Amino acid sequence: MELRLYDTLSREKRAFVPLDAKNVRMYVCGPTVYDFAHIGNARPVIVFDVLFRLLRHLYGEAHVKYVRNITDVDDKINDRAARDFPGLPLNEAIRKVTEETGRQFHADVDALGALRPSVEPRATEHIAEMREIIERLVKGGFAYVAEDHVLFSPQAMNAANASLPRYGALSNRSLDEMVAGARVDVAPYKKGNTDFVLWKPSKPGEPSWPSPAGIEAEGRPGWHIECSAMAWKHLGEHFDIHGGGIDLVFPHHENEVAQTCCAFHRERMANYWMHNGFLQVESEKMSKSLGNFITIHELLKDWPGEVLRLNMLKTHYRSPIDWTMKSLEESAKTLDDWYRVAADVEPGKPAASVVEPLLDDLNTPLAIAALHGLRGGDVSALAGSLRLLGFLSESAAQWEGRKQQASGVDAKEVERLIAERTAARSRKDFGESDRIRDLLAAMGVAIKDSKEGTTWEIAR
Ligand code: AMP
Ligand code: ZN
């Protein structure tokens, strides 16, 4: 069976044919590093990690290049830096914020079982590429300078007599409607009300770089140009897959396509545009004001990262996901069981029943159903399949040990009570043995008797 992926641009599921099977290339928009990442941010991380792993499985580890950027120049970063480090020069404060947040992000996504991308470029290290694209756009008549800004004109793009995509094609909007519906308080230096910023002047104290297009004052890039520059540098003018959350389709990705295609006279930037659906919490939109804003960091204090991962993958990536405590508890029980039966087993080849749904536009809910099907039969295929999906990074003993640690249960004390209970049973003192069983249950410990003896685990 072949890999098929849903493409937001053509609005259909299509067979995936890489431009070069020896170098399959994917770009995913990464975080803006100013604060802890929330559980919604974990969704693209996990979804595109599964795709990365699947592509490596299909084309070979050495033949897939995955780029996920870090946006380290942004107003939100500047604001946070000024607030958290008021005594420091802004540039130093910004470096502190981006370094610390970047470290937190890595710790979080490592715990989620996500492989590090092949390259994690930082926006501030690609200013030269941004300037180069901007120069090309100005020369080509797609962008212009006004009051030390450089602005891109979607109308110039759509009027151009060249084989370019239509501005608005990705987000399925018409430029005429966008023009008619645009806000009235458009910045006065903009010629058209849908024009967007490629470069802008920096305020005193803000990070700044020499400007392109003959502008004397120093400035800084707009957000969209960063991704065009980083994708170009690391993947070329045209590559296979571009991903991100559904909220990025417009304006971010629409503008990325416009910049890249007009700068390089291309009909396409990426052949497949993939977008994950949004995550909400207990049926409500997650927001700081509603008090239901959950960071990955907080969740990891209560749950192993693989539980969060499984919980995310139980929903198809294009559907909205409702993140609930109940579902998390079920995911934890499922993983406890899989760890018990499969973690210490020699992994076999991933089962066709698991791989085939993944080939169908990453149908992870169906793949997970197939894992349940393997549970009672081919456990070595179960182990191999779980590993393909990024699970079983620990041994069964490590997993159980972590659970014990998290529960605060003293393993020695449990062993002592079990020995006492075994002694009570052998002298047929069932009152005492029941009392000890209840005591263990109250501590959160479940025991199981078999011919080999009594085993125990932390009950979820
Ligand atoms: P941001 O740092 O806000 O640019 O987001 C980083 C990534 O997380 C982007 O791909 C967003 O589309 C994605 N994202 C943000 N919020 C959510 C959410 N609630 N559910 C799913 N994805 C999200
Ligand atoms: Zn981007």
With a 6 Å cutoff on the Cβ, whether 244 touches ligand 1 is: yes
Residues 236 and 98 in one domain: yes
Supply the pLDDT for residue 290.
Answer: 81
Is residue 297, in this structure, part of any structural domain at all? Answer: no
Is residue 431, in this structure, part of any structural domain at all? Answer: yes
Q: What is the mean pLDDT of residues 7-36?
A: 96
Residue nearest to atom 15 of ligand 1 (CA): 41
Residues 246 and 339 in one domain: no
Supply the pLDDT for residue 408.
Answer: 85
pLDDT above 90: residue 289 = no
Residues 52 and 173 in one domain: yes
Is residue 287, in this structure, part of any structural domain at all? Answer: no
Look at residues 371, 397, 423 and tell me which one is the last residue of a structural domain: 397
The ligand that comes nearest to the alpha carbon of residue 30 is 1
CA of 405 relative to ligand 1 center, distance in Å = 32
pLDDT digit string, tens, across residues 231-251: 999 999 999 999 999 999 999
CA of 51 relative to ligand 2 center, distance in Å = 18
Residues 94 and 155 in one domain: yes
Residues 230 and 333 in one domain: no
Q: What is the mean pLDDT of residues 307-335?
A: 97
353 is in which domain, residue-wise?
Answer: 302-397
Mutation probe of ligand 1 site: the residue of 32, 34, 43 with most atoms within 8 A of C-beta:
43
Supply the pLDDT for residue 10.
Answer: 97
Look at residues 373, 397, 421 and tell me which one is the last residue of a structural domain: 397
- Total residues found in the chain within this entry: 460
With a 6 Å cutoff on the Cβ, whether 274 touches ligand 1 is: no
CA of 226 relative to ligand 2 center, distance in Å = 7
CA of 245 relative to ligand 1 center, distance in Å = 5
Q: What is the dihedral of CA 73, 76, 78, 83, to 10 degrees?
A: -150
| Number of separate helices (H) and strands (E) present in the chain | 17, 14
Of residues 75 and 21, the one with the higher pLDDT is 21
Is residue 188, in this structure, part of any structural domain at all? Answer: yes
Residue type, 343: A
Residues 391 and 441 in one domain: no
pLDDT digit string, tens, across residues 133-147: 999 999 999 999 999
Is residue 140, in this structure, part of any structural domain at all? Answer: yes
Poorest-pLDDT segment among 159-173, 401-415, 432-446:
401-415
Is residue 293, in this structure, part of any structural domain at all? Answer: no
Residues 271 and 328 in one domain: no
Residue nearest to atom 7 of ligand 1 (CA): 41
Cβ atoms of residues 183 and 193 within 8 Å: yes
Q: What is the mean pLDDT of residues 112-126?
A: 97
Residues 259 and 309 in one domain: no
CA of 253 relative to ligand 2 center, distance in Å = 7
Residue nearest to atom 1 of ligand 1 (CA): 31
Q: 136, 180, 134, 142: which is closest to 159 by C-alpha?
A: 142
Q: Which two tokens stand for residue 284?
A: 């409500």
Q: How many domains does the chain have?
A: 3
Q: 26, 28, 36: which is closest to 70 by C-alpha?
A: 28
- Sorting pLDDT into bands at 50, 70 and 90, what band is 409? confident
Query: What is the SS3 assignment for 340-403?
Result: HHHCCCCCCCCCHHHHHHHHECCCHHHHHHHHHHHHCCCHHHHHHHHHHCCCCCCCHHHHHHHH
Mutation probe of ligand 1 site: the residue of 8, 41, 171 with most atoms within 8 A of C-beta:
41
pLDDT above 90: residue 85 = yes
CA of 311 relative to ligand 1 center, distance in Å = 17
Element containing residue 158 per DSSP (H, E): helix 154-159
Is residue 1, in this structure, part of any structural domain at all? Answer: no
With a 6 Å cutoff on the Cβ, whether 248 touches ligand 1 is: yes
With a 6 Å cutoff on the Cβ, whether 350 touches ligand 1 is: no
Residues 128 and 261 in one domain: yes
Atom of ligand 1 nearest to the CA of 30: 6
Supply the pLDDT for residue 263.
Answer: 98
DSSP 163-214: S-PPTTTTTT--HHHHHHHS-S---TT-SSTT-EEEEEEPPTTS--B--STT
With a 6 Å cutoff on the Cβ, whether 31 touches ligand 1 is: yes
- Sorting pLDDT into bands at 50, 70 and 90, what band is 181? confident
- Sorting pLDDT into bands at 50, 70 and 90, what band is 7? very high
Q: What residues are neighbours of ligand 2 (ion), with CB under 5 Å?
A: 29, 227
Q: Which residue has the tokens 């890039």?
A: 221
With a 6 Å cutoff on the Cβ, whether 243 touches ligand 1 is: no
User: Measured between alpha carbons, how far is 150 from 145 in angstroms, rounded to an integer?
Assistant: 4
With a 6 Å cutoff on the Cβ, whether 113 touches ligand 1 is: no
Atom of ligand 1 nearest to the CA of 243: 10
With a 6 Å cutoff on the Cβ, whether 18 touches ligand 1 is: no
Supply the pLDDT for residue 389.
Answer: 98
CA of 132 relative to ligand 1 center, distance in Å = 28
- Sorting pLDDT into bands at 50, 70 and 90, what band is 375? very high
Supply the pLDDT for residue 15.
Answer: 98
With a 6 Å cutoff on the Cβ, whether 77 touches ligand 1 is: no
Supply the pLDDT for residue 79.
Answer: 93
> If you average pLDDT over every residue of the chain, what do you get?
95
pLDDT above 80: residue 288 = no
- Sorting pLDDT into bands at 50, 70 and 90, what band is 287? confident
Supply the pLDDT for residue 460.
Answer: 74
pLDDT above 80: residue 213 = yes
Q: What is the mean pLDDT of residues 375-400?
A: 96
With a 6 Å cutoff on the Cβ, whether 321 touches ligand 1 is: no
CA of 353 relative to ligand 2 center, distance in Å = 34
Residues 253 and 130 in one domain: yes
Is residue 103, in this structure, part of any structural domain at all? Answer: yes
Poorest-pLDDT segment among 48-62, 181-195, 274-288:
181-195
Percent of residues, the chain, with pLDDT higher than 70: 100
With a 6 Å cutoff on the Cβ, whether 279 touches ligand 1 is: yes
Residues 179 and 58 in one domain: yes
List C-alpha distances in Å: 353 to 358, 364, 369, 400. Answer: 9, 11, 9, 28
Supply the pLDDT for residue 399.
Answer: 95
Residue nearest to atom 16 of ligand 1 (CA): 40
Supply the pLDDT for residue 225.
Answer: 98
With a 6 Å cutoff on the Cβ, whether 247 touches ligand 1 is: yes
Supply the pLDDT for residue 183.
Answer: 75
Residues 43 and 123 in one domain: yes
CATH number for 13: 3.40.50.620
Q: Which residues pair with 244 in a beta bridge?
A: 275
